[in-house]
Amino acid sequence: MDWLLSPTSVADKLIVMVFAIVLFVAIMALILWVIDHPGVPNWVVVVGFLGPVTIALVIGLLYPALGTVYRSFQVSTTALGGDGKPIINPNTGQKTTELTFSFANYDRIFTDPTFQKVIVNSVLWVILVPLLATFFGLVYAVLVDRTRFEKAAKALVFLPLAISMVGASIIWKFVYDYRQAGVNQIGLANQILIWLGLDPYQFLLTEPWNTFFLIIVMVWIQAGFAMTVLSAAIKAVPDDIVEAAQIDGATGFKLFRKVTIPTIRPALVVVITTVAMTSLKAFDVVRTMTGGNFGTSVIANEFYTQTFTQGQTGAGLGAALAVVLFIIIIPVIVYNVRQMRISEEMR
Amino acid sequence: MSMSGSAVELPITTDATPEEKVSSRQLKKQLRLQEAKTKLSSPWASGVAIVLAILWTIPTFGLFVTSFRPPADINTSGWWTFFANPGVTFENYTNAWGAGLSEFFLNSFVIVLPAVIIPIALALLAAYAFAWIDFKGRTILFVAIFALQIVPIQVTLIPLQTIFVNFGLQNSFWPVWISHTIFGLPLAIFLLHNFMKEVPASIIEAARVDGAGHVKIFFVVLMPLLVPAIAAFGIFQFLWVWNDLLVALVFAPSPNLRPITAAIADLSGTRGNQWELLSAGAFISMIVPLVVFISLQRYFVRGLLAGGVKG
């Protein structure tokens, strides 16, 4: 069974992949075969169609989410014996630790200056990325609307969305590359500074502006999404509304501001909230470009660092950070869903 | 949603086709109205658009040019000097490929196929039940699954890892496949359900009258109609899995499992100054999503507009 759990050769890997797919298909076929008999009660059919998904989501999403909330309230402390002294493990000679219930993880996230910085950075990301990406996406969608090169122009801005955030980070890390003054620059950003007669600048190392240079990367990625959705919304503005406004004498920018913008408002809300959530949850850019160093870490990145590199203490802090992330997201989603329902009722 | 995929296409491209003949007056009016919505288009607006498009493309273009330059050139001069002093080599690519990226590329491939096929199949079944089988608690269960979309992946990782360890699955591809499947399910069910609901009930009824059971209706009647929806979500899931970093870092930490995106991120940390390796490696990791995106852009945009957004 070694090939099944730890395949190493190319052939083994491909075989285990095919095996996984075949196994899955076989199980599904068996379930469907069982329920596909006349006279099978309705509930069996429902269980057949929905059972696998429900089990997967309960075990894979619901239970872990609750577990993380629970873990976020646990702190690793030294276990005390009946005599009030730490219990020493006779085999290792180390103090035994136990998990106790406490608010210490949350307390530390909101009072420790390092974590406060992380939260401030996250707030900057969540506000700036959606606003800038949406603004750019809207302007661009309007500018290229019905031009001869519309399709190609859109594809160019859309492209960053198809590649990974890691790839985008590498692209921009090269743009920001720094060589000391006097040496040929190989990063475009510093070369532009040189051309302007300025000194080269450590874009990724110099606080506090380095966070903004990371944010630019995310704007660069997300603008394509904003543009695509908003462009479709603009094209879907009903002709009769525009006609009525024209009869009333609205033209040009006024027409755009008074008619087009209010009509595409639902799409604007969807875009802003979606980009906000993406930029809150994504850690790829920070991870790849600075590793969260130099004061650039955000909640999603700090979650990873704490959870997977800092042992028991970190696991509690990481869980608390994940819960904070979750709590920030909830109102955004509720607002989004409410807006969607309002716009659906209007139709 | 208020936006349909077809709205993305240029509205006025069919004036030559005979079946959609519009009188020239109507066409003119349509054109005028379309223009009025924005009316910012003028030669200089087009100029601004072109400048922005170039700005957006230059970073990628710069790294692309760099990936074909000899290492000595990369480190001593900017890529913009390439045009005055060209020197082309493919060695960066062969070196990066030989330095282990080929194995990571294979891992990505092994990860992505099951991680796309399995959630689609599971979600199709669930979406069918929600759309066309009557049972108690249907609405509540559907809303619950819809709501699960908001759970950030981060919240689930630690307990999920404990589960995988308990089953002895750690350090294999199974946790990666299973977790990608689970994370993709809520969105997949939601999207496919919306598409399934659009199939006219009369078609389903007719099949039922003919004596077809649920399984037959599912495969014979619905599946052929759902191909565009499946393609839309499939591309989504494909790009998401291929480009993913978080799940890979957590569940595929060993080099034997690591997909290419995680490998490139790792290179950026450990060999961040070897631009000949990083530039070529980055483009090797991007080639598959780029090909998928360019060849199947229509479906991708349709999925995007149908509310398919996750992260």
Shortest CA gap B59–chain A (Å)? 6
From the list B38, B60, B246, the residue facing A171 with the nearest CB is: B60
- So what's the pLDDT on residue B13? 34
Sign of the torsion formed by the C-alpha atoms of A196, A198, A200 and A202:
negative
Sign of the torsion formed by the C-alpha atoms of A129, A135, A141 and A147:
negative
* A116-130, A154-168, A247-261, B131-145: least confidently modelled range: A247-261
What is the per-residue pLDDT across B278-297, written as a single tens digit (0 to 9) for each? 999 999 999 999 898 888 87
Within 8 A by CB and 6+ apart from A171, the residues are B59, B60, B62, B63, B282
What is the per-residue pLDDT across B51-71, written as a single tens digit (0 to 9) for each? 999 999 999 999 999 999 998
Percent of chain B with pLDDT over 70: 86
- So what's the pLDDT on residue A182? 83
Q: State yes or no: pLDDT of A94 exceeds 80.
A: no
For chain B, the domains span 91-305
* A93-107, A127-141, B8-22: least confidently modelled range: B8-22
Q: State the average pLDDT for chain B.
A: 82
- Within 8 A of B244 by CB-CB distance, chain A residues are 164
Q: State yes or no: pLDDT of A91 exceeds 50.
A: yes
- So what's the pLDDT on residue A303? 92
Chain A with chain B: Cβ pairs closer than 8 A = 370
Q: State yes or no: pLDDT of A338 exceeds 70.
A: yes
CA dist., res. A146 & res. A216, Å (int): 28
What is the per-residue pLDDT across A11-33, written as a single tens digit (0 to 9) for each? 888 988 999 999 999 998 898 88
- So what's the pLDDT on residue B243? 92
Q: Is B225 on the interface with A (CB under 8 A)?
A: no
- So what's the pLDDT on residue B145? 87
Confidence band (pLDDT; 50, 70, 90) for B179? very high
Q: Is B6 on the interface with A (CB under 8 A)?
A: no
Q: In this complex, do B159 and A67 lie within 8 Å of one another by their Cβ atoms?
A: yes
Q: Is B72 on the interface with A (CB under 8 A)?
A: no
- So what's the pLDDT on residue A164? 92
CA dist., res. A326 & res. A330, Å (int): 6
Percent of chain A with pLDDT over 70: 97
Q: State yes or no: pLDDT of B187 exceeds 90.
A: no
CA dist., res. A104 & res. B178, Å (int): 33
Q: A282 to chain B: nearest residue by CA?
A: B311
Q: Alpha helix locations (H) across chain B?
A: 24-38, 43-66, 71-76, 91-96, 102-132, 138-147, 153-166, 173-197, 201-209, 214-216, 223-225, 227-243, 246-251, 260-270, 275-295, 297-305
Q: B267 to chain A: nearest residue by CA?
A: A288
Residue B266 has which token pair? Answer: 């790792």
* Element spanning A110, H or E: helix A104-111
* Nearest Cα residue to A221 out of A279, A182, A271: A279
Q: In this complex, do B39 and A242 lie within 8 Å of one another by their Cβ atoms?
A: no
Q: Is A171 on the interface with B (CB under 8 A)?
A: yes
What is the per-residue pLDDT across B124-174, written as a single tens digit (0 to 9) for each? 999 989 988 888 888 889 888 888 877 888 889 989 999 999 998 888 899
From the list B12, B66, B157, the residue facing A174 with the nearest CB is: B66
Q: Look at the block and give the residue holding tokens 């913009």.
A: B80
Mean per-residue pLDDT, A240-248: 84
Mean per-residue pLDDT, A193-204: 90
For chain A, the domains span 2-74, 75-102, 109-346
Confidence band (pLDDT; 50, 70, 90) for B4? very low
Domain boundaries A109-346, corresponding CATH code: 1.10.3720.10
Q: A337 to chain B: nearest residue by CA?
A: B147
- So what's the pLDDT on residue B37? 54
- So what's the pLDDT on residue B9? 32
From the list B110, B129, B145, the residue facing A13 with the nearest CB is: B110
Confidence band (pLDDT; 50, 70, 90) for B306? low
Q: A187 to chain B: nearest residue by CA?
A: B78
Q: State yes or no: pLDDT of B273 exceeds 90.
A: no
What is the per-residue pLDDT across A59-84, written as a single tens digit (0 to 9) for each? 999 999 999 999 999 888 777 777 77
Q: In this complex, do B125 and A52 lie within 8 Å of one another by their Cβ atoms?
A: yes
* Nearest Cα residue to B124 out of B226, B236, B240: B226
From the list B37, B262, B264, the residue facing A260 with the nearest CB is: B37
Name the A residues in 181-220 with CB < 8 Å from any B CB: 184-188, 191, 220
Confidence band (pLDDT; 50, 70, 90) for A1? low
- So what's the pLDDT on residue A116? 92
- So what's the pLDDT on residue B284? 92
Shortest CA gap A324–chain B (Å)? 10
Q: Is B247 on the interface with A (CB under 8 A)?
A: no
Confidence band (pLDDT; 50, 70, 90) for B36? low
What is the per-residue pLDDT across A295-330, written as a single tens digit (0 to 9) for each? 899 999 999 999 888 878 888 899 999 999 888 888
Q: In this complex, do B158 and A191 lie within 8 Å of one another by their Cβ atoms?
A: no
Per CATH, the homologous superfamily of domain B91-305 is MetI-like (1.10.3720.10)
